[in-house]
Amino acid sequence: MSDLPKAKTRPASNWSAIWILPLIALVIGGWLGWQAYRAAGVNIEVRFESGEGIVANKTEVFYKGMSVGKVKSLVLDAEGSNTGVIATIEMNKEAEPHLNTGTRFWLVKPSVTLAGITGLETLVSGNYIAVSPGEGEPTQRFTALAVAPPLSDSVPGLHLTLKAERLGSLNRDSPVFYKQIQVGRVKSYRLSEDQDTVEIKVFIEPAYASLVRKHTRFWNASGVSIDASLSGVKVRSESLSSIVAGGIAFATPEHRKDSPATDPSLPFRLYEDFDAAQAGIRIKVKLTDFEGLQAGRTPVLYKGIQIGSLKTLKIDSDLSSAMAEITLDPLAEDYLVDGTQFWVVKPSISLAGITGLEALVKGNYIAIRPGDKGATPQREFEARAKAPPLDLKSPGLHLVLFGDNLGSLDVGSPVLYRQVRVGSVQSYQFAKNSKRILIGVHIEPEYANLVNGSTRFWNASGITLTGGLSGIQVKSESLQSLMAGGIAFETPEQNVPLKRRIPRFRLNESQDAANRTGTSITIRVERADGLKPGTPIRFRGLDVGQVESVDLTQDLQAVLLRARITEVPERITRKGTRFWVVKPALGLVRTENLETLVTGQYLEVQPAARSGGQQHDFIALAQAPELKEEPVGLPLTLSAPRRGSIKPGVPVTYREVAVGKVTGFELGQTADRVLIHVLIEPRYAALVHGGSRFWTSSGFGFDFGLFKGASVRTESLETLIEGGIAFATPEGEKMGNPARPQQTFALFDKPEEEWLIWAPKISLAQ
């Protein structure tokens, strides 16, 4: 029997793969436990006076809008004599370093007070607990605040302390105003340590912090301030918000504007009201009449409303004037400019009437008329000796009369219509050339319709004596005009419109002068350069009339001269009579009438050559007429809505070559068009056909585009200076038949692009 191999044996192993799963589970469980430990919050206890609005597992703790914890439970406080509730709050792990003795908690819920509405967001999200981190020793037990803490001094902005005798109606979050703009709010208030004053903490927004200077003054703007006296009732309030919730206003006195910035550590005094603060704008006014004025009592009034007061009055060494220092409401700052007027109002009885009657009750006072807002600021003024003329913005008709002398007229003198007073003289002054006197007149609103373009004024002061064999006639407009002077007027025609907002009339020396003989006419001219009332109308060097008034036409397209022909009016006021303005001509072509540079421009008249019907309305020629010559060439008529700058002699061009000229113009039969007569030279007559288009080429054209730039175009230097007419003729069938003499074409304001590229081949006459 052969030997068989022996089997090798080895001991069985105790390891099995099944043990891997428990090990993995152990590792995972340990990791989850570590994560749970790391994520676990910190439990703290916060004591509240009441648990109203706090719900376990719902009410959260917020810091700057982020949730940092949640209430886990709510139990009654079993310790202490004061009942309350203790809320157990689980704070986030990240909040643990900030849980110190200085950390504060409070409940945020909707609140409606006079100062405003807070916690409005809790109407949707529910009440929540707010937290403000602090410093100190770590702790886990806190006592909640009853209300939110005041704004921290670390918040950017200006934090100030005001001291007042009493709080008034101020409260937390009451607004702080600067020129009626809210620039801050009240943070908190408390009694001072000596309990004699109230300390009010105020916060000013960073953007407005620079407005508070070392000498800034604060005053209590709460509610309404009423000051009643014989002079009236004064009501002052900063805003509706300050009436309801209280408020503080501040300003820096004008003479302290350059004071340094304030030191936040130094307290300010809170004055009881604006007058106590004396924070108005300080100005100086030089007075020549200061009788009855008293420092500290005399008010400054604007239309009966007090806007300031007289603080000091110092008489100059020569006793002829005094310097008044006045404090005005800061709201008047924008109107203390060049043109602002001051004057003293006191009772006055004169021949012109009684003025300042209200000063018998109020006492003498200083009146002010603000200048135009936006003018140059000013702080020193010189008072007027008397009240200024009535403001041109006042209701009624304001007009200007010009005359050679004032007579016995004065400010306040009556203006009479049929011996009824309808207005008064407001002012008088010399004209710029000092040759005439300009008198400002105001007609009361209910009588303004009595004055129109045909009205004539005369000086009705004093007595007019007319003597003859039949006796002596004494005439006076009224007893008042006899004593104080006066102006009278009459309006002979109806429905003659006024041409200016402030019309001008001549003041005649008497009624007879106003109604002197002669025939009134109107002359329409293009411009009034050099023409004025008194400009002579001449015929062969002799004066035959003069201009009485110069006004714009109703359509503002021309100037209407009202004139009176005093010499041979029956020969001049006829159809066919022509007028033109004689003025100096300085041009490239001719120079003439240079004597008018010294004597002034005038109107020349050429009476009609033959007898015709009477005419009183004329249109002046643009220039002196020329002798008529027999026209040679092709005469045409152009029809246009207006004449523009076209005048006889200006060129008519074809492709910028002069081929004719304007010979004259006139109104159409129905006066709705202007007919312009042109003459085309014989050689170029063939250029004009029925399809030709004419347009005005005067001046230059300017074309501008964002991408194509700017371009300036003009026909020629001659048309740029004198004006002109251009035309173009189309090709082919559009050309039409050759133009006939006296054929009428339309004159357009500008050409169409198509016309400018027309270039037909037309044979010219030799």
What confidence tens digit (pLDDT) does each residue in 275-303 have?
A: 777 667 888 999 988 888 888 788 888 87
In tens, the pLDDT along 3-39 reads: 677 766 666 656 666 667 777 777 777 777 666 566 6
More confident residue, 195 or 651: 651
The whole-angstrom separation of Cα 688 and Cα 681 is: 11
Instruction: Calculate the alpha carbon distances from 437 to 416, 427, 433, 506 in Å.
Output: 20, 10, 10, 10
Residue 232 has what pLDDT?
45
- Spatial neighbors of 348 by CB under 8 A, at least 6 apart, are 354, 355, 356
pLDDT in tens, 534-586: 899 999 888 889 898 898 888 888 999 999 888 888 888 888 899 999 887 66
Higher pLDDT, 230 or 108: 108
Confidence of residue 710 (pLDDT cuts 50, 70, 90): very low
Q: Which amino acid is at 702?
A: F
Average pLDDT for residues 342-354, to the nearest whole number? 67
Exposed, middle or buried by CB within 10 Å (0-12, 13-18, 19+), for 109?
Answer: middle
- Between the CA of residue 220 and those of 198, 214, 226, 238, 307, what are the distances in Å? 13, 19, 14, 10, 18
Residue 442 confidence (pLDDT) above 90:
yes
Dist CA 570 CA 104 (whole Å): 107
CB 633 within 8 A of CB 681: yes
Return d(Cα 494, Cα 374) in angstroms, integer: 42
Q: What is the pLDDT of residues 497-542, one digit of tens each?
A: 988 888 999 898 888 777 776 788 999 999 888 888 889 999 988 8
Of 44, 50, 49, 56, the residue nearest 89 (C-alpha): 44
Provide the pairing of β-strand 42-48 with 141-143.
parallel
Mean pLDDT of the chain: 80
Mean pLDDT within 630-651: 87
Identify the DSSP state of 646: -
Tokens of 738: 């050759």
Task: Check residues 290 and 751 and name the one with the higher pLDDT.
Answer: 751
Confidence of residue 593 (pLDDT cuts 50, 70, 90): low
| Type of residue numbered 295 | A
492 confidence band (pLDDT: 50, 70, 90): confident
pLDDT of 457 above 60: yes
Per residue in 653-698, pLDDT (tens digit) is 999 899 999 988 999 888 889 999 999 999 999 999 999 999 998 6
- Residue 701: its pLDDT value, please? 52
